[in-house]
Structure 1
Amino acid sequence: MALQTARADSSATQFFGREAAAPLIVGPTGLNGLFWPRADELLAHAASEAGLPFVLSTASTSLLEDVRAAAPRGDLWMQLYVQQDRGIAEDLMRRASAAGFSTLVLTVDVPVHGKRDHDTRNGFALPLGLSPRLIADCIRHPHWCWQMARHGSPQLKNIAQSVGERANLARHAAMLSRQMDLTLGWADLEWVRRHWNGKLIVKGIQGRDDALLALARGTDGIVLSNHGGRQLDSTFAPLELLPEIADAVGHRLDIFVDGGVRRGSDALKAVSLGARGALLGRAPLYGLASRGGTGVKEVLALMMQEMHIAMRLLGCSALTQLRPGLVERAA
């Protein structure tokens, strides 16, 4: 490796013309209020403080207006599931636009919920039902129990407001799992555009042909995603698909990836192979569950520190110097 002169290493980038401190986005995760009260607000605030975008899930437990108040200068994106009653999605888009959210992340890879064997084994259902195992778990986590008792169980507040009903976790969770719009297709991007004037990303792309269709339909970006591997087993990992799709559309469309990003170096691998950035799922939630907003800030700082160290070891002072040859791919 050639010796480098002293310089300031930078992981800075841009997403749709807006500055970001790193090629990282705090991605959409649902029911975060199970980890900590006002969880989505804490995540958005931490992302804003770190100079990163935050994506609010349709299954969020804080009102999107409260999330905006928690991160008044943050770059906020809205993830959207489309249900059979499209009026819900239309109202969510209207509210997000009014609150200054810049980007819509339309998720298309979950028309139905996959058969999640671990949920069956654990007896997971909403609302949580009392069982000897749950009671024992609560006894081992008194701080969590105190928070739930003090603040109440989390609710899908944005869905409730857009439906025009009082919060009811069991009902609104059932709506998300059983009332998705199975007719949603590429032509419906015109409907989305009628209700959304900001940037539009399609999340859940798993192949070159669909990436080309997204480009032809005028989307601003795509997320290569297998939904964290929780829906359909034996699918490709996004990083496996990235080089081919980047070759096909990378110069005309912003590509993002999610799934399995646990270290700053993971995001650098994605950028090296052609991604604009990587969405974080579980990593910030580990910090949230441990120490609330402080824990989220610590996780983001750790990932950015890892990113800077890896860039220096690679001899790269900017993201533009990353290239496919830095990543070895299995044959």
Structure 2
Amino acid sequence: MLSCVADYRIAAQKRLPRLAFDYLDGGAEDGDALRRNAEAYRQWLFKPRVLTDVSRCSSATQFFGREAAAPLIVGPTGLNGLFWPRADELLAHAASEAGLPFVLSTASTSLLEDVRAAAPRGDLWMQLYVQQDRGIAEDLMRRASAAGFSTLVLTVDVPVHGKRDHDTRNGFALPLRLSPRLIADCIRHPHWCWQMARHGSPQLKNIAHSVGERADLARHAAMLSRQMDLTLGWADLEWVRRHWSGKLIVKGIQGRDDALLALARGTDGIVLSNHGGRQLDSTFAPLELLPEIADAVGHRLDVFVDGGARRGSDALKAVSLGARGVLLGRAPLYGLASRGGAGVKEVLALMMQEMHIAMRLLGCSALTQLRPGLVERAA
């Protein structure tokens, strides 16, 4: 096990060719939102209590009545097969072993049925993009329900894909096209190149399955990037409910007004998210929005955050400010990209270890003892 998530990031950067690492690590345009997400956690400082009994310490919590080992969820990330073969299955298995939920992306490179087989006892959630052909979303919901996924995470902040300068510079396109630059980069990263040659280019298998077509990365990636349903509105949550009987979370909330609309529409939870800084640049970090929104709706629905968490102590700050849990995006992917499934398990174990250390140093033996008074924004 390496010492921290930042070390796994360095290891991932060494193993991946530049276009793959930049796809994992980069943000939209100038990267301001990406940097702000991480910086937001540094703006909140702990105010520990002392002389409290911390001989027993538990980070256990519940999400919608199901036990979880910590207020962490392995969040939805797409095209993970670019980093390691069978990536989504490895992520789901590691999350299940750690006692944490896993959210499978619509843009996954493993079939959701294979992900369920890899984590037969895991709490699996399904992230959903709605495309112009709503039959695709309806089929994904049907299949996820049949496979025992408990929660639907409807992502609403990507009507179009954001502009990512790094992808333009790297000539990133799907499927990957050989060029002198990519060939030279592959030579410098032989392990990644060997895996891609052995297992083939990643495919958006769930979309292909629900469309009823053979895998065709170029076509199905284009469907995601250019055929999103731009008419999707709040009233369409009724359509979602007709096809999904489990818990429903709306992901991509970035303001109090939309949080109140989500509450009025009867959602079970919301995720405060700027999509990891990958879509619209110059946005507030979710953690910055959390206190106001948790105060407005947190007692009536579950509020989650994502973006920027790299330490177990970051999750404690979010919970102290009113979050039910934190979705992890890049952190487990750094583990995956550097060491496969073993790396994911190590990153999750590391963050939980950091969480337990910080809880004891804060004077807290349970998450229920976390409250706004334990953190304060730096002057």
Q: TM-score category by the smaller chain?
A: over 0.9
1:35-70 CA deviation, whole Å, 9 max, x = no partner?
111100000000000000000000000000000000
Secondary structure of the residue that 1:145 maps to in structure 2?
A: helix
Tell me the CA shift for residue 248 of structure 1: 0.3
1:147-206 CA deviation, whole Å, 9 max, x = no partner?
111111110000000000000000000000000000000000000000000000000000
Take 1:43 and 1:50, find their aligned partners in 2: how far apart are those partners? 11
Tell me the CA shift for residue 129 of structure 1: 1.4
Runs of 4+ in structure 1 deviating by more than 3 angstroms, as ranges, are none
Alignment of 1:18-29 (within 5 A): 18-29=66-77
Q: Which runs of 5+ in 2 are unaligned?
A: 1-49
Tell me the CA shift for residue 230 of structure 1: 1.4
Tell me the CA shift for residue 123 of structure 1: 1.7
- The corresponding residue for 1:156 is 204
With 84-93 and 109-118 compared, the bigger mean Cα shift is at: 109-118
With 6-15 and 253-262 compared, the bigger mean Cα shift is at: 6-15
Take 1:6 and 1:23, find their aligned partners in 2: how far apart are those partners? 19
Take 2:308 and 2:238, find their aligned partners in 1: how far apart are those partners? 32
Take 2:77 and 2:189, find their aligned partners in 1: how far apart are those partners? 22
Take 1:223 and 1:181, find their aligned partners in 2: how far apart are those partners? 20
The number of residue pairs the alignment matches comes to: 330
Tell me the CA shift for residue 330 of structure 1: 4.8
- Say whether residues 1:7 and 2:85 are aligned partners: no
CA RMSD of superposed structures (Å): 0.9
Secondary structure of the residue that 1:10 maps to in structure 2?
A: coil
Tell me the CA shift for residue 102 of structure 1: 0.1
Secondary structure of the residue that 1:328 maps to in structure 2?
A: strand
After TM superposition, the score normalised by the length of structure 2 is 0.86
Take 1:113 and 1:6, find their aligned partners in 2: how far apart are those partners? 47
Residues 54 and 360, structure 2, Cα contact 8 Å, conserved in 1: no
With 5-14 and 321-330 compared, the bigger mean Cα shift is at: 321-330
Take 1:116 and 1:221, find their aligned partners in 2: how far apart are those partners? 29
- Say whether residues 1:258 and 2:303 are aligned partners: no
Tell me the CA shift for residue 93 of structure 1: 0.1
Q: Which runs of 5+ in 1 are unaligned?
A: none
Tell me the CA shift for residue 215 of structure 1: 0.5
> Out of 268, 276, 291, which is 1:220 matched to?
268
1:265-307 CA deviation, whole Å, 9 max, x = no partner?
1111110000000000011111111111111000000000000
Take 1:149 and 1:117, find their aligned partners in 2: how far apart are those partners? 27
1:253-273 CA deviation, whole Å, 9 max, x = no partner?
100000011111111111000
Residues 54 and 363, structure 2, Cα contact 8 Å, conserved in 1: no
Take 2:346 and 2:278, find their aligned partners in 1: how far apart are those partners? 27
Cα distance change of structure 1 residues 34 and 94 upon mapping to structure 2, 3 Å threshold: same
Take 1:131 and 1:29, find their aligned partners in 2: how far apart are those partners? 26
Residues 54 and 365, structure 2, Cα contact 8 Å, conserved in 1: no
Tell me the CA shift for residue 327 of structure 1: 2.1
Take 1:5 and 1:115, find their aligned partners in 2: how far apart are those partners? 50
After TM superposition, the score normalised by the length of structure 1 is 0.98
- The corresponding residue for 2:105 is 57
Tell me the CA shift for residue 6 of structure 1: 5.0
